[in-house]
């Protein structure tokens, strides 16, 4: 569904109720993840008869939702996750935002939702960052997390794609994703639950995938782990990904293995960027299936040196411990390894404007 849409102009309505500066700066001293929100939101509406319309940046506020709104019943909802960074030399930058715009539309197609022209997605994000530029924290490890999302808002209980949607972008200043900071995380290998099956929605960034992962994530917490890793749905054998992060393995011969995309894994932009950076370093990256049995055996034999998870929110997190019902094992002595550190530093260096952006991955927001 490609909506016919005339060029849209955003109606900018500054909030009369911005958080006072001293309160904002106080909150910046102790940033968590996803608990504090900026003053504004960007909103664009879509209806079958009007296409995309009513673009605005306005005070962040609740949406009035009819109880029969289709998202409440059939979960037609997708989202993106990206960050605005304040570089050391004071620029405001986005990292590969056009990749998020493109993936958003891939998710939209899978969920039978209207596509948002990429330029409109990018403008909504940029307009919100302009309105809330003072919400980009500058401290190392912090950023303004941006959450574009779209949900079905038609008042209708019949089962078919909604004829009305709301697209929105909100922003949240964030610190490190994991409480332990850069410490390696522990992972629980889910036995009873899978995340995505062939033909399902695993490659779409939809809320429903997360809803389905939460019971497994809760089990991981109960086992004393930070995160859950899922195996494939068909054979319960192949490592797929975490609830919201892709996974990489660093071998003793210097090569890297990561599970291949193929419909059941979310095509992460961090994943794609790290593969590119590793290959430029001359590292062989194999996108190939890797089984949990191999993982266990390679950790025991020393063939596996490091493992890490990656995504926009947590960036790169070393996996130190892996637990499963029959036991547990450590990777790299439970420490963050040198390849993990080097790749993370290379990526973060680009994102924060500290190293040359040879790939043109940064979108600099002029005058912000
Ligand atoms: C968003 C997400 C990722 C990471 O994608 P990035 O583009 O790197 O942030 C990985 N897995 C899942 C399931 C996700 O939803």
In CATH, what number is assigned to the domain containing residue 338?
Answer: 3.20.10.10
**Average pLDDT for 283-305:** 98
Same structural domain for residues 112 and 198? no
1 within some domain: no
| 39-65 pLDDT tens trace | 999 999 999 999 999 999 999 999 999
Per the domain annotation, does 229 fall within a domain?
A: yes
Q: Establish if 339 belongs to a structural domain.
A: yes
Residue 115, Cβ neighbours under 10 Å: how many? 21
CA of 311 to the centre of ligand 1 (A): 5
> At residue 175, does pLDDT exceed 80?
yes
Residues 220 and 327 in one domain: yes
In a domain, 136, yes or no: yes
Domain total of the chain: 2
pLDDT surpasses 90 at 132:
yes
pLDDT at 182: 73
Mean pLDDT of 252-272: 97
The answer to the question of residue 124 being in a domain is: yes
- Ligand 1 mutation target, pool 205, 206, 239, 313, most atoms within 8 A of CB: 205
The rounded mean pLDDT for the chain is 96
Least confident of 5-9, 233-237, 250-254, 275-279: 5-9
pLDDT over 70 at 104, yes or no: yes
Q: Is the pLDDT of residue 1 over 60?
A: no
Q: Is 84 contained in some domain?
A: yes
Q: Do 42 and 90 belong together in one domain?
A: yes
User: Of the residues 174, 193, 212, which one is the last residue of a structural domain?
Assistant: 174
- Indicate whether 201 and 346 sit together in one domain: yes
Residue 181 has pLDDT above 80, yes or no: no
Percent of the chain exceeding pLDDT 90 equals 95
Please tell me whether residues 191 and 314 are part of one structural domain. Answer: yes
Q: How far apart are CA 58 and CA 42, in angstroms?
A: 6
Residues 6+ apart with CB under 8 A from 330: 299, 320, 321, 322
Burial letters for 227-255: b for 16+ Cβ neighbours within 10 Å, e otherwise?
bbbbbbbeeeebbbbbbbbbbbbbbeeee
Q: Could you tell me if residue 362 is inside a domain?
A: no
Residues 138 and 24 in one domain: yes
CA 155 from centre of chain: 29
Cα–ligand 1 centroid distance for 236 (angstroms): 21
pLDDT in the model for residue 6: 62
By residue count, the chain amounts to 368
Q: Does one domain contain both 345 and 200?
A: yes
Residues 207 and 134 placed together within one structural domain of the fold? no
Nearest atom, ligand 1, residue 246 CA: 10
DSSP state of 160: S
Sign of the Cα torsion 285, 291, 296, 301 reads negative
Residue 84 has pLDDT above 60, yes or no: yes
Q: What was the pLDDT predicted at 285? A: 98
CA distance 106 to 364: 25
Residues at CB less than 6 angstroms from ligand 1: 81, 205, 241, 244-246, 266, 268-271, 311-312
221 Cα distance to chain centroid? 20
- pLDDT number for residue 179: 66
Residue 155 and residue 191 in one domain: no
Question: Of the candidates 119, 151, 174, which is a domain's last residue?
Answer: 174
309 burial type by CB count under 10 A (0-12 exposed, 13-18 middle, 19+ buried): buried
C-alpha distances in Å from residue 51, one per residue of 46, 152, 248: 5, 14, 41
Choose one of 244, 259, 277 to mutate for the ligand 1 pocket test, by most ligand atoms within 8 angstroms of C-beta.
244
Q: For the chain, list the strands marked E by DSSP.
A: 11-12, 40-47, 51-59, 77-79, 82-86, 92-95, 143-152, 164-174, 185-189, 227-231, 239-242, 246-251, 256-258, 285-287, 304-311, 315-324, 327-330, 362-364
144 with 238, same domain: the answer is no
pLDDT of residue 177: 78
Q: How many whole angstroms from 195 Cα to the centroid of ligand 1?
A: 13
SS3 category, 7: coil
- State how far Cα 31 lies from the chain centre: 18
Q: Is the dihedral of CA 253, 255, 256, 261 positive or negative?
A: negative
Same domain, 226 and 338: yes
Domain that holds residue 206: 185-351
In a domain, 144, yes or no: yes
Cα(314) to centroid(ligand 1), Å = 10
Q: Summarize the confidence of residues 259-269 as an average pLDDT.
A: 97
> Which CATH number do you get for residue 94?
3.30.470.10
Q: Could you tell me if 101 and 47 lie in one domain?
A: yes
Give pTM, 2 decimals: 0.96
Å from CA of 305 to ligand 1 middle:
24
Residue 73 has pLDDT above 90, yes or no: yes
Alpha helix segments (H runs only) across the chain: 21-28, 71-74, 97-110, 118-131, 207-222, 269-280, 292-301, 338-351
C-beta separation of 46 from 91 below 8 A: no
Q: Is the dihedral of CA 180, 185, 191, 194 positive or negative?
A: positive
């Amino acid at each position: 569904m490609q909506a016919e849409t005339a060029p849209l102009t955003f109606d900018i309505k500054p909030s009369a109720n911005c958080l006072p500066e001293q309160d904002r700066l106080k909150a910046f001293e102790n940033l968590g993840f996803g608990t504090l929100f900026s003053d504004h939101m960007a909103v664009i509406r879509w209806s079958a008869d009007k296409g995309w319309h009513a673009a605005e940046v306005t005070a962040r506020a609740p949406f009035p939702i009819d109880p029969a709104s289709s998202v409440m019943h059939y979960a037609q909802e997708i989202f993106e996750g990206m960050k605005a960074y304040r570089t050391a030399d004071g620029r405001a930058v986005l990292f590969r935002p056009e990749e998020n715009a493109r993936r958003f539309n891939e998710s939209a197609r899978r969920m039978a939702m209207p596509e948002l022209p990429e330029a409109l997605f990018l403008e909504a994000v940029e307009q919100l960052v302009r309105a809330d530029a003072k919400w980009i924290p500058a401290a190392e490890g912090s950023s303004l997390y941006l959450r574009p999302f779209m949900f079905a808002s038609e008042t209708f209980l019949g089962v078919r794609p909604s004829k009305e949607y709301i697209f929105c972008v909100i922003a949240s200043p964030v610190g490190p994703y994991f409480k332990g900071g850069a410490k390696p995380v522990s992972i629980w290998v889910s036995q009873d639950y899978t995340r995505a099956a062939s033909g399902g929605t695993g490659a779409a960034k939809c809320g429903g995938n997360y809803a389905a992962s939460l019971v497994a994530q809760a089990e991981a917490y109960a086992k004393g782990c930070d995160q859950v890793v899922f195996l494939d749905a068909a054979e319960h054998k192949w490592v797929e990904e975490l609830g919201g992060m892709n996974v990489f393995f660093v071998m003793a011969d210097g090569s890297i293995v990561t599970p291949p995309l193929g419909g059941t894994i979310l095509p992460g932009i961090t994943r794609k960027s790290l593969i590119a950076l590793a290959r430029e370093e001359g590292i062989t990256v194999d996108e190939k299936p890797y089984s949990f049995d191999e993982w266990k055996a390679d950790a025991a034999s020393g063939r596996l040196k490091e493992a890490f998870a990656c995504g926009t929110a947590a960036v790169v997190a070393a996996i130190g411990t892996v637990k499963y019902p029959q036991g547990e094992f450590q990777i790299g002595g439970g420490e963050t390894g040198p390849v993990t550190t080097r790749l993370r530093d290379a990526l973060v260096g680009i994102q924060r404007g500290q190293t040359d952006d040879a790939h043109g991955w940064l979108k600099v927001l002029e005058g912000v």
